[in-house]
Structure 1
């Protein structure tokens, strides 16, 4: 599947008879990380490197660099039996719904607290204060 996506078609007019790039696919944190490296040879030497001269070659990351988070892999193209389903994936719609529920829960807590306070005030009335009229002018 990866060769079909990232490979150069056979006898394509921009294809080259040599390899100058390396694609790296690694799986870290349940994501597929993609890196693109260029094989570099020092320019002060001759253009061709001997077969055993791999120690003179270096890899330089040229990009692009991206991360894939597969959700589902189907048996066919865009359909068919599900071969893989990511159990850790949470859709943005579910995240928005949870945020909306939390905001609604916050408001309902305020309303419930207000009604509890009213019920408490009605069940426990204040006693009349005998000194309330002491400083009023007559």
Structure 2
């Protein structure tokens, strides 16, 4: 403290530069140390042009669930990874720049706006990741588990995330597909309420590189949507041909005895 005297008035001035006052705290809790943000990797999320409104809303829901995402403009169709029809939705998960990468066909999409579930979680909070034990049984499932952890796991001390967990992402293997669900943690005893969104990932191929390279694994049970629609049309065509054949045969045999009950029907004639 330094005292200064003026001519007309006696005043005491405090030089804060030479003797700073400590901050006043009204709590007995210890001061929290500033933690360092170590993992600064972010997830780039973008879509190709031409996706429908439901697929676009699903992408926006995923952005809300991942505070560590980095948005990007839409990719032009001339620069897309592979030409696909607009009615089919595919999702690529990749580790840039060295790989590996996985191509999924997305099925049974339900966005948050469609479901209107009772669950609700704070935006930006970190999720718990829950995996089916089946992920440890096969090598390609173990690789998928590691990719899901790196993409959906929010880094610790991320500046855009909240420092606590209030929801859980579940990844379940059923019918050779990965079922994704998002649940709010209601209490410490494990009570949950679904938040959304919902979608199912049908793995197509696993590549060694980033968005390409040597195919490490291919799903033998996968049927492309175009081939599936073609099979449905073919089956419908066969049913139509059979129905026309039956009608033609019925007209040709009309008025004739097409069957006999027993070989002795004509014995009394």
TM-score range for the pair, normalised by the shorter chain length? 0.5 to 0.7
Higher relative contact order (CA 8 A, sep 6+): 2
Structure 1 gaps, min length 5: 42-53, 115-138
Q: Tell me which residue corresponds to 2:159.
A: 13
1:99 to 1:67, Cα distance in 2 relative to 1, 3 A: closer
* Rg (Cα) greater in structure: 1
What SS class does the counterpart of residue 184 from structure 2 fall into? strand
Aligned length: 102
8 A contact 2:157–2:163 mirrored in 1: no
Aligned counterpart for 1:31 among listed residues 177, 194, 213 = 177
Hey, what does 1:135 align to over in structure 2?
A: none
Q: 1:99 to 1:58 in 2, by over 3 A?
A: closer
1:102/1:8 CA distance change after superposition, 3 Å:
same
- Aligned-residue RMSD, C-alpha: 3.1
Q: How far off is 1:8 after superposition?
A: 2.1
Structure richer in helix, relative to its length? 1
TM-aligned CA deviation for residue 26 of structure 1: 0.7
Provide the C-alpha distance between the structure 1 equivalents of 2:216 and 2:149, rounded to a whole number of angstroms. 19
Q: What SS does the corresponding residue of 2:209 show, helix, strand or coil?
A: coil
State the alpha-carbon separation in 2 of the partners of residues 36 and 83 from structure 1.
Answer: 30
Aligned equivalents of 1:102, 1:65: Cα separation in 2: 31
- Aligned partner of 1:74 among 180, 183, 207: 207
TM-score normalised by structure 1 residue count: 0.57
Question: 1: distance between equivalents of 2:170 and 2:235?
Answer: 42
**CA–CA distance in 1 between the matches of 2:227 and 2:163?**
49
1:62: which partner in 2? 195
